[in-house]
């Protein structure tokens, strides 16, 4: 059975393979996109679509979920999704 997580933008439950995982590492406070399973920290999940990514940045949902002022550029996140051929 696959574990499911909720997209912070649209609220849909999806298998973790269908979502982008963004984690703020506990020790360093660094933001990691698609960390390995051993990365410990606060995480948020987004769908691999431009609408959800735009909404997360527009409504500041990513900062709220990670409880930080993230320095992730929206274009970096969109570029990641293009590199993985998900958009």
DSSP state of 49: S
Quick one: pLDDT at residue 51? 92
Place of tokens 């949902």: 61
* 47 close to 19: Cβ distance less than 8 angstroms: yes
Q: Write out pLDDT tens, residues 22-68.
A: 988 888 888 888 867 677 888 999 999 889 989 988 888 888 888 88
Banded model confidence at residue 15, pLDDT cuts 50, 70, 90:
very high
With 0-12 CB in 10 A as exposed, 13-18 as middle and 19+ as buried, what is 36? exposed
Q: Considering the entire predicted model, what is its pTM?
A: 0.82
DSSP state of 16: G
CATH number at residue 62: 3.30.1230.10
Flag whether 60 is in a domain: yes
Quick one: pLDDT at residue 63? 86
Mean pLDDT of 6-35: 89
DSSP state of 33: E
Residue with the larger pLDDT of the pair 82 and 24: 24
Flag whether 85 is in a domain: no
**The total number of structural domains that make up the chain:** 1
């Amino acid at each position: 059975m696959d574990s499911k997580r909720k997209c912070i933008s649209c609220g849909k439950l999806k298998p973790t393979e269908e979502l982008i995982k963004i984690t703020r590492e506990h020790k360093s406070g660094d933001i990691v996109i698609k960390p390995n399973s051993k990365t410990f920290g606060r995480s948020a999940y987004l769908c691999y679509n431009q609408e959800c990514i735009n909404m997360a940045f527009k409504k500041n949902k990513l900062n709220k979920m990670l409880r930080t002022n993230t320095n992730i550029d929206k274009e970096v996140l969109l570029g990641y999704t293009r590199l993985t051929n998900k958009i």
